[in-house]
């Protein structure tokens, strides 16, 4: 039996039956990491000693028949913009290359309390800015399904770790699709909850009004298991909320959740130019839903055509503000060049520490927030975001879910020279859920020549609707 090919819920049953120990499973994962990392580069830091120590502790709890948490003995990876005490937290940037987190994030505390085994910190686009995991200071991550391709981003390392059997579960963050787009590219499940469902305390912010914490698993049940552990109100994060829909019981083996549900397909998506493999999977998924008893209607969802423009105006504005804390005085890399003023020190340190994508977004965001441009761009973008959110609200008055592909394209080659605008388009279907704060899940459609993510989005605080529909879709796609 290859222990790394078992899903999290299968591992837990195995531990309970004493089929194997947590130490054996953890060592098996560390062996795979050692064998594959030179090719895949899913991790920035591997915490092997910490993982084995934790595994032995969990084994002793099983032997003593002590009460266990939901993730007892499950090895997982955590994106490197999340704080794990006494472990490097680089956000894939040179400017934080040697930063050691002095405390745990709230979600780290929760997965530790649940008994999870942290295998390491996963690679990502620098400060989560990107859709390819090529902008990491520590080198690009490759797609385990085909190492010539990108794994998506910005949580590409987390997705690759799960897809490549280098972790059983993984934590990602999702600002515009960074769990769901890479999940689709890697043939696994990626979920983003209702905004605020998971505390962001201890996580390097990219764009505060968009950022959420999401989960990766090899099936829907695993992704749901991790979300149950991470979710909850946190007094350290004023934007966090209680979301009871994440803990509602779900029958993953027999639940008939597609019958009589109403699914909306935005008309604008049907008129878009999609990759032929993606288009075929999209059409087949619509047919699958109808066969299962769901009603699928084409609907008008106004202003979706402005998604990419509005997203980048608002997100880059928030990025410019968030990145200002990395000034080499309080945080971050300090230049070794001689300087004659604080201003010169900031300038040298930040130009050396930040990569090109981060610098570009800081400059764009700073320009947008300048006095003249603010009313022309930022304030108008806020108004259009409200209109997009209203469009979602109107659709959810009559429908349970919105369906689309997770991305309009398949993963591109690592050495592709696609323009930034073309790459930004890969988040076209995922961004609206971040704008509206809605839960959304990517489920792999495996009937074609390459896995394609299918995206289901529900109304706020209806996260259970995503998991229920996705679980039956997953069973029918097998």
pLDDT (tens digit, 9 = 90+) per residue, 90-101?
999 999 999 999
Query: Would residue 317 show up in a list of annotated catalytic residues for this protein?
Result: no
Query: Would residue 178 show up in a list of annotated catalytic residues for this protein?
Result: yes
Distance between the two ends of the chain, CA-based, in angstroms?
22
CA distance linking residue 283 with residue 158, whole number of Å? 29
Cα torsion 447, 452, 456, 457 to 10°: value is -170
Residue with tokens 């790394």: 4
Q: Which of 93, 135, 158, 178 is catalytic?
A: 178
Q: Among residues 474, 478, 380, 476, which one has the least CA distance to residue 183?
A: 474
Copy the structure tokens of residue 166: 């280098």
Residue 419 has pLDDT above 80, yes or no: no
Q: Could you count the other beta carbons within 10 Å of the beta carbon of residue 276?
A: 10
- Residue 478: predicted pLDDT: 76
Cis ω for the linkage preceding 154 (within 30 of 0): yes
pLDDT (tens digit, 9 = 90+) per residue, 39-84?
999 999 999 999 999 999 999 999 998 999 999 999 999 999 999 9
User: Residue 418: which pLDDT band, with cuts at 50, 70 and 90?
Assistant: confident
The one-character DSSP state at 376 is: I
Give the helix/strand (H/E) hosting 401: strand 401-405
71 Cα distance to chain centroid = 19
Tell me phi and psi for residue 368, to 5 degrees: -60, -35
Residue 291 has pLDDT above 90, yes or no: yes
pLDDT (tens digit, 9 = 90+) per residue, 194-237?
999 999 999 999 999 999 999 999 999 999 999 999 999 999 99
Q: In this predicted model, which residue has the larger pLDDT, 319 or 302?
A: 319
CA distance linking residue 290 with residue 146, whole number of Å? 33
Contact 23, 55 (CB under 8 A): yes
CA distance linking residue 199 with residue 106, whole number of Å? 6
CA distance linking residue 219 with residue 460, whole number of Å? 22
Q: At what angle do helices 106-113 and 220-230 cross, to 10 degrees?
A: 110
Q: What percent of the chain has pLDDT over 70?
A: 100
CA distance linking residue 33 with residue 40, whole number of Å? 9
Please give the mean pLDDT across all residues of the chain: 95
pLDDT (tens digit, 9 = 90+) per residue, 424-456?
778 899 999 999 999 999 999 988 889 999 999
Query: Would residue 406 show up in a list of annotated catalytic residues for this protein?
Result: no
Three-state DSSP state, 340: coil
- Residue 468: predicted pLDDT: 98
User: Residue 279: which pLDDT band, with cuts at 50, 70 and 90?
Assistant: very high
Tell me phi and psi for residue 443, to 5 degrees: -115, 135
Q: 284 CB contacts (<8 Å, ≥6 apart)?
A: 445, 447
CA distance linking residue 107 with residue 232, whole number of Å? 9
Residue 272 has pLDDT above 90, yes or no: no
Sign of the four-CA dihedral 99, 104, 110, 112: positive
Query: For residue 343, what are the CA distances in angstroms to 126, 131, 329, 348, 426?
Result: 24, 32, 11, 9, 38
Q: Which of 79, 110, 142, 192 is catalytic?
A: 79
Contact 199, 227 (CB under 8 A): no
CA distance linking residue 121 with residue 79, whole number of Å? 5
User: Residue 332: which pLDDT band, with cuts at 50, 70 and 90?
Assistant: confident
User: Residue 270: which pLDDT band, with cuts at 50, 70 and 90?
Assistant: confident
Tell me phi and psi for residue 30, to 5 degrees: -65, -35
Q: Could you count the other beta carbons within 10 Å of the beta carbon of residue 413?
A: 12
Q: Which of 93, 105, 136, 154 is catalytic?
A: 154
- Average the pLDDT over 257-276 and give the result: 93
CA distance linking residue 204 with residue 82, whole number of Å? 7
- Residue 171: predicted pLDDT: 98
Contact 369, 323 (CB under 8 A): no
pLDDT (tens digit, 9 = 90+) per residue, 339-393?
999 999 999 999 999 999 999 999 999 999 997 888 889 999 999 999 999 999 9
DSSP string of 159-210, one letter each residue: HHHHHTTS-SEEEEEESSSTTHHHHHHHTSEEEE-STTSB--TTB--S-TTT
- Average the pLDDT over 179-195 and give the result: 98
Contact 458, 401 (CB under 8 A): yes
Q: Could you count the other beta carbons within 10 Å of the beta carbon of residue 284?
A: 16
Contact 59, 23 (CB under 8 A): yes
Residue 161 has pLDDT above 80, yes or no: yes
- Average the pLDDT over 284-294 and give the result: 97
- Residue 422: predicted pLDDT: 76
Residue 262 has pLDDT above 80, yes or no: yes
Angle at 197 between CA 429 and CA 175, to 5 degrees: 35
């Amino acid at each position: 039996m290859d222990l790394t090919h078992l899903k999290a819920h299968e591992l837990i049953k195995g531990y309970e039956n004493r089929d194997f120990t947590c130490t054996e499973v953890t060592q098996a994962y560390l062996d795979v990491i050692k064998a594959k990392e030179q090719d895949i580069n899913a991790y920035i830091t591997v915490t092997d000693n910490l993982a084995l120590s934790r595994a032995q502790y969990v084994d002793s709890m099983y032997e003593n028949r002590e009460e266990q948490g939901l993730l007892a003995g499950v090895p997982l990876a955590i994106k490197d913009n999340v704080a794990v005490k006494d472990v490097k937290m680089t956000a894939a940037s040179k400017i934080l290359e040697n930063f050691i987190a002095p405390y745990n994030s709230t979600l780290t505390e929760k997965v530790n309390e649940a008994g999870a085994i942290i295998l390491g910190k996963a690679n990502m686009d620098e400060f989560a800015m990107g859709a390819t995991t090529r902008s990491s200071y520590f080198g690009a991550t490759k797609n385990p399904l085909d190492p010539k391709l990108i794994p998506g981003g910005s949580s590409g390392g987390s997705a690759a770790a799960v897809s490549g059997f280098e972790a059983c579960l993984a934590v990602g963050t999702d600002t515009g699709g960074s769990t769901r787009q890479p999940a689709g590219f890697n043939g696994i499940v990626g979920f983003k909850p209702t905004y605020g469902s998971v505390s962001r305390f201890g996580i390097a912010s990219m764009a505060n009004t968009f950022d959420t914490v999401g989960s990766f698993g090899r099936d829907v049940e695993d992704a749901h298991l991790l979300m149950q552990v991470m979710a909850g109100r946190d007094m350290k994060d004023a934007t966090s909320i209680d979301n009871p829909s994440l803990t509602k019981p779900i029958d993953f083996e027999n639940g008939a959740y597609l019958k009589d549900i109403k699914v909306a397909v935005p008309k604008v998506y049907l008129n878009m130019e999609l990759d032929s493999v993606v288009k075929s999977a999209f059409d087949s998924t619509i047919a699958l839903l109808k066969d299962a008893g769901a009603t699928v209607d084409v609907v008008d969802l106004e202003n979706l055509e402005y998604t990419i423009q509005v997203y980048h105006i608002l997100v880059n504005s928030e990025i410019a503000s968030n990145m200002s804390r990395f000034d080499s005085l309080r945080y971050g890399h300090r230049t070794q060049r001689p300087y004659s003023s604080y201003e010169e020190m900031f300038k040298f340190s930040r130009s050396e520490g930040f990569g090109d994508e981060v610098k570009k977004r800081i400059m764009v965001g700073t320009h947008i927030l300048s006095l003249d441009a603010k009313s022309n761009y930022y304030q108008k973008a806020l108004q259009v975001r409200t209109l997009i959110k209203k469009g979602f609200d109107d659709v959810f008055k009559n429908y349970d879910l919105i369906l689309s592909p997770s991305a309009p394209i398949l993963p591109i080659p690592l050495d592709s020279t696609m323009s930034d605008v073309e790459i930004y388009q890969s988040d076209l279907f995922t961004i609206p859920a971040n704008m509206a704060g809605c839960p959304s899940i990517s489920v792999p459609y495996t009937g074609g020549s390459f896995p394609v993510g299918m995206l289901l989005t529900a109304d706020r605080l209806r996260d259970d609707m995503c998991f229920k529909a996705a679980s039956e879709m997953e069973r029918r796609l097998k």
